[in-house]
Copies of this chain bind each other. A is one copy, B any other.
Amino acid sequence: MPQHIVIIGAVALGSKAAARFKRLEPESRVTLVDRDKRIAYSGCGIPFYVSGEVSDVPELQSTSFHVLRDAEYFRKSKGVEVRTETEAVAIDRAAKTVTLTHLPSGRSEILAYDQLVLATGSKPVIPPIPGRELAGVHTVHNLESAESIRSLIASGNVKQAVVVGAGFIGLEMAVALVDLWGVETTVIELREQILPGVIGGNLSLTALRHMRDKGVRFQLGDQVLSLEGDGQGRVARVRTKHGEIPADLVIVAVGVRPNTELARVAGLAVSERGGITVDEYLRTSDPHIYAGGDCVELHHLLTGSKTFLPMGSLANRQGRVIGDNLAGGESRFLGVVGSWCVKLFDLAAAGTGLTLQAARSAGFNPLSVHVSQLDRAHFHPDRGVMSLDLIVERETGRVLGMQGTADRGDALVGKVNVIAGLLPSGLKVEALTSLEAAYSPPFSAALDILNVLGNAAENILAGRNRTIQVDAFAALWEQRENGTYFFLDCRERSDAKEETGANPEHWINIPQGELVDNMNKLPRDKSILVICGTGARSYEALITLLHNGFQDVISLEGGMSAVSATGLGVS
C-alpha cells in the first residue's frame, strides 16, 4: 500500500533516503522538508568554495552532470516533493503528524506521515566568548556562512584572520585563507596539538610543521578570552590567554553538536551526549521514526561504546539504509570505525580506527608502531614520503587503528581504506604482514608499506625489536649531557655527516655494515640508542649488538625520516 514518508532535513542523509526509497517504492509519496532555501549541497565542499577552488556555490549543489539539485530537480528527477524554507516545529507521534511552519509567510500546516525520518543534522558549537556577535565573526555551517566569508575576503578587506579550533574544518579554512587569498592567518587551539583526538602527537607535529612552513601561524594550548570590536560593530582583535591578535575575520570552528531539539520534545530517546538514539536499522525509539546523519549517536565498532561522528560520507550510506527500511527492508548500519582524511596544502593526513590515546581511553593496552619511508619504489622518480602509525593491542596483536601523513594523498588514503575495510572483522598484525597489495614500481614498493608496518609491529610484539618514538627520543637527546645514553647513528658516513659535524661528542656514526668490526668503540655501561634513516638498519644494528652481548639497545622508530618530518631537531 502506498505510504507517505516525511523527511525533515534535505542535505546529505535526507535527500539520499528520499531518492533511495522512491526507487524502491515509486508508488509511494515522499515530502522532503528543509528550513533552508538551498538543499542537497556538499557541506564538506565549503572550504573549497571559500578558497576559490570551487568557483560557485551551485557547483556544491549540483550533480556530477551539472544539474542543480533544487526542489524542481527532486520533483522531476526523483519524484520527491520538497518544501524549502520550512521548519518542522513539532511531531505528534500518536497522531503521526508533523507541524510545519513556512518561514517566509509564517503559515503553519499539519502533515500526516506513515513513516518519518529525522535528518536534522548538527549546528556549530559557539563558545560563550564576549564579542561573538560582532560583524566578521563566523562559523562554517551552511552555504550562507560560506558566502558571507568568501564575499568578505573577496572584498579585499580581510588582512588578518583568526581561526579558532585546529580540527578538520579549522585547518581547511586556514589553508583556504592562506593558500589562495594570502590572508595572514593564526589558528588558536585549546589543546597542545593540531587535529586533536584524530592523530597521534608525532604525526600532528609533521602536519603542524608543514602548515607553519606554508605560512600559517599557530597558538596551541591557548584560549580565546574575548573578541574586540573596532567601535563600529566589526571585529578588530582577538584577545587570548597569551596576548592579542589583530583580526578582520574570525572563524569559529570548535566542533558541532547534533540538532535534537525536535526529537527530544517529541519524547524520542536522546542520549546524554546529545545524539538521537537509534538501533542498527537506524530506527529511533519510535518504530515509525528513523534518524541518521549528524543528529544521531552511532555504535563504535572498536570500543563498543556510542560515538558522535558527523561526516557526510556516513550520512550518505545511512540514507540508503533508511531508504531500504522505509520500504520494508532490513538493511543494517552496524557502526563505525571512524575513517577520515584531510588535505593540508601539499600534505595529506588520514586515519581510521583509534589513536593511541583513544585506545588507552577505551581501556585497551595499546602499542603504537611507526614507519616512515618512501611511498613507492625508491628508484622511481615520483616517490614521496609516507609516515604511518599503527595502533595495536599488545596482548592480542589486534589492529585498533592507523593514522598517517604523506606527500601523495591518494596513496595515503588508499592505505587507510585498506585498514578501514579490515578493522570491523578484527584485523590482526599477522594478516597485515601477508596482505597482497598490488605492486609496480610507479605505485608502491615491492614490500608494500602496509606489509612493512605489519612486519615492524610483529617484531616489536615478539620482543625482537625494542624501539623508541621520535618525541621520547628528542627528549633524551635534550638530556644528552648527562651521559646515560649513547647515540649511535648507523647510516652511511655521507648521510650522517651533518649531525656528527654539529655534535662530534654526542652523535657517533658507525655505518651498520661496519658495526661488527667496531664493537670495541661502543660502551658496555650505557644504553645504546641506534638511529638510521628509516628504522630498518637500526633494527639490523640492534640485532647485531644484542648478539654481541650488549643488553640495553633501543632503535629509533622511523629514524631520521621521522625526526625531520616532525621537525624535532637533533642539532
Chain B residues within 8 Å of A60, by CB: 379
A523 at interface (Cβ–Cβ under 8 A)?
no
Cα A377 to Cα B24 in complex, Å, equals 26
**Do residues B439 and A313 form an inter-chain contact, with CB atoms below 8 A?**
yes
- Min Cβ gap A320→B in Å is 7
Chain B residues within 8 Å of A512, by CB: 77
**Do residues B436 and A336 form an inter-chain contact, with CB atoms below 8 A?**
yes
- Min Cβ gap A273→B in Å is 21
Chain B residues within 8 Å of A425, by CB: 425
**Do residues B333 and A434 form an inter-chain contact, with CB atoms below 8 A?**
yes
**Do residues B513 and A73 form an inter-chain contact, with CB atoms below 8 A?**
yes
Chain B residues within 8 Å of A317, by CB: 433-434, 436, 447, 451
A170 at interface (Cβ–Cβ under 8 A)?
no
Cα A317 to Cα B440 in complex, Å, equals 15
Most chain B CB within 10 A, of A62, A442, A512, is at: A442
A196 at interface (Cβ–Cβ under 8 A)?
no
- Min Cβ gap A39→B in Å is 15
Chain B residues within 8 Å of A446, by CB: 12, 42, 44, 312-313, 315-316
A569 at interface (Cβ–Cβ under 8 A)?
no
Stretch of A134-142, A233-241, A403-411 lying at the B interface: A403-411
- Min Cβ gap A316→B in Å is 5
Stretch of A122-130, A264-272, A475-483, A532-540 lying at the B interface: A532-540
**Do residues A53 and B513 form an inter-chain contact, with CB atoms below 8 A?**
no
Chain B residues within 8 Å of A79, by CB: 516, 544
**Do residues B441 and A45 form an inter-chain contact, with CB atoms below 8 A?**
yes
Chain B residues within 8 Å of A417, by CB: 414-415, 417-418, 435, 437-438, 448, 450
**Do residues A443 and B409 form an inter-chain contact, with CB atoms below 8 A?**
yes
Stretch of A104-112, A149-157, A214-222, A340-348 lying at the B interface: A340-348
Q: Which 8 A-B pairs have the closest CB atoms?
A: A414-B414, A76-B513, A313-B439, A410-B410, A64-B378, A26-B547, A341-B438, A77-B513
Supply 4 further A-B pairs (C-beta < 8 A) apart from A48-B442, A65-B532, A413-B414.
A42-B377, A53-B380, A339-B438, A417-B437
Complex A-B: 6 CB contacts under 8 Å:
A44-B440, A45-B441, A48-B442, A67-B513, A350-B438, A410-B411
